[in-house]
Structure 1
Amino acid sequence: MFRQLCTFRVHANPRLHILPAVVVLFLVFILLPNPYSSDVQLGRLFAVSTVQPRQAAANATLGFQRLIALSSKPSWRTRGLQAAAKLTGLDFTIPPQPHNPVEFVVAFEDIGLGQTTTPKHGSASAWVAHLDLLKFVIASGLETAFIVEDDVDWDVRIKDQIKLISDNVRNYTFVPKSDPTPYGADWDVLWLGHCGGAIEDWAPPGVIYADDTRIPTDSYASWSTGYLQQRLPEGHRMIHVSTTTVCSFGYGVTRASAQKILTLLGRGADEAFDVALSHHCRERELRCLVVNPQIMHHYEPSKDLGYVSPVDSGDGEGEPVDEAEFEFIKGKTFNIVESARCRALFNDTCA
């Protein structure tokens, strides 16, 4: 019947013969499965996005094509991550991690041995796991990805926080209004989850903005508290170039920068993955932006339960214990005011 109707219209008015093709083409664009996971990629597909960049940043993948969690296996870490994600409307992918032979990790530890600092075994294992995840980003053909460690935590107001980050990263890097992407493209690493970052006089000045979800400075637990006391007013954050940032709790990459990071950090020969990343940022081999203070930090089970992280255990800094009770007894997340994990699991804060 549709074919007959089309034929009739062509005969009735030849000038309308293109209308069915236009309609079909429009329906194809609308109905085909979207291979992109964010409104940002939709904007690129159609050239003009109807979604404002700050709104795209507040989608289920925080404006990246995918949120990816580094995890060796299901545990209290991943179950807490998924509970917090459900509460705050985030969507994480947890790719299976390959099992690297001990000999491979030991060989990675020994790169540069006797010439420079090298990682201990636990740190080397974690480092290689991050490299594997960067390979996953590249192999999957993702344009952008945000990588977290599976014990990460964030504020229940993260989507409000990320809108401000989008605004200010775009302002800081002079992203034109015609560019619909939440963060532009003038960076290799967008470091949002960490445990401290220096704000130094010699570095390019950052952009300071108000954010009333930020933890008060006198409650901030970090080696870098002094920088906040000296450089940032209460209730404000800063976007700036990373000179000394540590802990890889959450960081954004692009397909191009994932390969760049893999090439640079695949050489090993440093204390740990985050330290090596920080060094390459400081040397401007990578273009790294950081939000200070962070919007993500890791959740820690109660010390009374004898918790020792896998990295610390692998580094010989404590013995692992039975973790069966960890998800039933509230732990703590430093530097996050309203923990998503503790709200989801215990209907409480992590203070």
Structure 2
Amino acid sequence: MTRPTFQLVAICITIFSGFLWFSSTQLHSSRNFEQNLPSTFLKGSRAPPTPLCNVRPNLVVDEPSDDPIWDIQNRTLGFQKIYAISMPHRIDKRDYQALMALVSGLDIEFVDGVNGSEIHPKALPNFWKGEEGAGTIGCWRAHLNIYQSMIQEKIQTALILEDDADWDVLIRAQMTEAARGARYLQNAALPLHSPYGDDWDIFTIGHYGVDNKPYKNQQYWVTKDDPTVIAPSRRPWPRKPDLSAPALGGDHTRIIHEVYRFTATQAYAISLRGAARVLYDQTLQPHATAIDLAMAAMCKSERWGPTSCLGAYPMIFGRFRPAGPKDADSDRRASTNEADPGSIKEHTGERAEAESEFTVFPVSLNVEKLLANEWVISAQLPQQDMQKNINLREFVFPRGGPVVVKPDEYINDEHP
């Protein structure tokens, strides 16, 4: 080996040895450093964040552990998604929906509402049969946008809310009972994919009136003495089911039933199958109209079968109304800051105090208590409601049961 070559090899060996020594010392130093760190600083062993709200109401579920009804305790109430439709400029409504979701342990995904005046004329329905006005068409399109997304993403079930929807602090207990009822109506048996059964399209649980089917033998799931049911004096809507059969009676009775028609879309669940059917009906058929009327027409026709449309009466979800100008309540109708040309004028005047319509123990009016981890919640209207207050740690929700009512059992004979 020549002298220059020998010198070059020696230099390379020296550099390589130095690199190995430096690497080993750094590794040793790094290990010593990690050994001296508190465990909370190490990856995978950090303490979980302290929950902002530890209030989780008592809930009795005695179904088998492999029953999907247990999924109602998750952050989407057993649905694959919870969507809330909200105009992009209504950040105020998103504020309180976000707070309500937090204290309820829910994950809600906001979906931008649609200003109907900005829809391209070529995208408007050719055979519109609904109320004129950009607000109604924009509302219709916002719901259809969700159905389209569900189809593209294969979302099996979704709960769709309007951005002023409100719900009870006992929402999981209510929805567990609703699931039992929905399954009964479908004659569902395990195994199931959804806790609500797998043979339904629309489940309306936040409406302003609904009809049942008293003209035929009808199955009901009946829950008596439910303290979350609003008193009859708080039910001002004209559309009401016939509850004149003795088995359906009681001021604080909730029923789960097949739906003939319903009004409004404050809160409803829809399956992927249902989303596809409504989208087909509203875009490829000459039936386009206000979205609640569109779904109600499908339910009435029983085109897709008798259990295609299910409902809860009285409704489970209500509506939050904050203190302040009443014309800020809705974006479907024009307000003083008219962002939606062509719509009808909304109510005027001031609301002195916030209120929740159609709920008894509303989350909206109890956010502060829930953030403070208080377990006793007062009824909104204790003079009318069944219980003046409720201890969430101790309360056991009433269990409903199946009932079949024949047409001749209804006292009222004025049926649709």
Q: Does 1:338 align with 2:365?
A: no
Inter-partner Cα distance in structure 1 for 2:228 and 2:161: 21
| Aligned-pair Cα RMSD in Å | 3.1
Specify which of 154, 158, 177 is matched with residue 171 of structure 2: 158
> Letter of the aligned partner of 1:288 in structure 2?
C
Could you tell me which runs of 5 or more consecutive residues in structure 1 were left unpaired when the two chains were aligned. 1-48
Retained in 2: the 8 A contact 1:331–1:350? no
Inter-partner Cα distance in structure 2 for 1:196 and 1:138: 29
Inter-partner Cα distance in structure 2 for 1:209 and 1:301: 31
Specify which of 57, 79, 84 is matched with residue 64 of structure 1: 79
> Letter of the aligned partner of 1:317 in structure 2?
I
Retained in 1: the 8 A contact 2:211–2:240? no
Retained in 1: the 8 A contact 2:166–2:320? yes
Specify which of 135, 155, 158 is matched with residue 148 of structure 2: 135
Q: CA deviation at 1:248?
A: 0.8
Q: Does 1:318 align with 2:339?
A: no
Specify which of 234, 257, 269 is matched with residue 240 of structure 1: 257
Counterpart of 2:292 in structure 1 is 274
State the secondary structure of the residue aligned to 1:312: coil
Q: CA deviation at 1:128?
A: 0.6
Inter-partner Cα distance in structure 1 for 2:286 and 2:92: 30
Change (3 A) 1:345 1:278: farther
Inter-partner Cα distance in structure 1 for 2:358 and 2:122: 34
State the secondary structure of the residue aligned to 2:320: strand
Inter-partner Cα distance in structure 2 for 1:317 and 1:308: 13
Q: CA deviation at 1:96?
A: 4.6
State the secondary structure of the residue aligned to 1:186: coil
Q: Does 1:283 align with 2:297?
A: no
Inter-partner Cα distance in structure 2 for 1:106 and 1:119: 17
Retained in 2: the 8 A contact 1:209–1:237? yes
Retained in 1: the 8 A contact 2:114–2:139? no
Could you tell me which runs of 5 or more consecutive residues in structure 2 were left unpaired when the two chains were aligned. 1-63, 335-339, 371-377, 382-416
State the secondary structure of the residue aligned to 1:310: coil
> Letter of the aligned partner of 2:177 in structure 1?
L
Larger radius of gyration: 2
State the secondary structure of the residue aligned to 1:185: coil
Retained in 2: the 8 A contact 1:204–1:240? no
Counterpart of 1:263 in structure 2 is 280
State the secondary structure of the residue aligned to 1:311: coil
Q: CA deviation at 1:181?
A: 3.0
Write the deviation string for residues 98-127 of structure 1: whole angstroms up to 9, x where unpaired: 777625369636x336xx545432111110
State the secondary structure of the residue aligned to 1:87: helix
Specify which of 197, 203, 207 is matched with residue 184 of structure 1: 197
Counterpart of 2:95 in structure 1 is 79
Inter-partner Cα distance in structure 1 for 2:204 and 2:252: 20
Counterpart of 2:401 in structure 1 is none
Larger deviation, residues 238-247 vs 94-103: 94-103
Inter-partner Cα distance in structure 1 for 2:254 and 2:65: 28
Larger deviation, residues 230-239 vs 284-293: 230-239
Specify which of 104, 110, 113 is matched with residue 120 of structure 2: 104
Inter-partner Cα distance in structure 2 for 1:333 and 1:125: 25
TM-score (norm 2): 0.63
State the secondary structure of the residue aligned to 1:190: strand
Retained in 2: the 8 A contact 1:65–1:142? yes
Inter-partner Cα distance in structure 2 for 1:126 and 1:346: 34
Q: CA deviation at 1:158?
A: 0.5
Specify which of 182, 186, 189 is matched with residue 169 of structure 1: 182
Larger deviation, residues 195-204 vs 242-251: 195-204
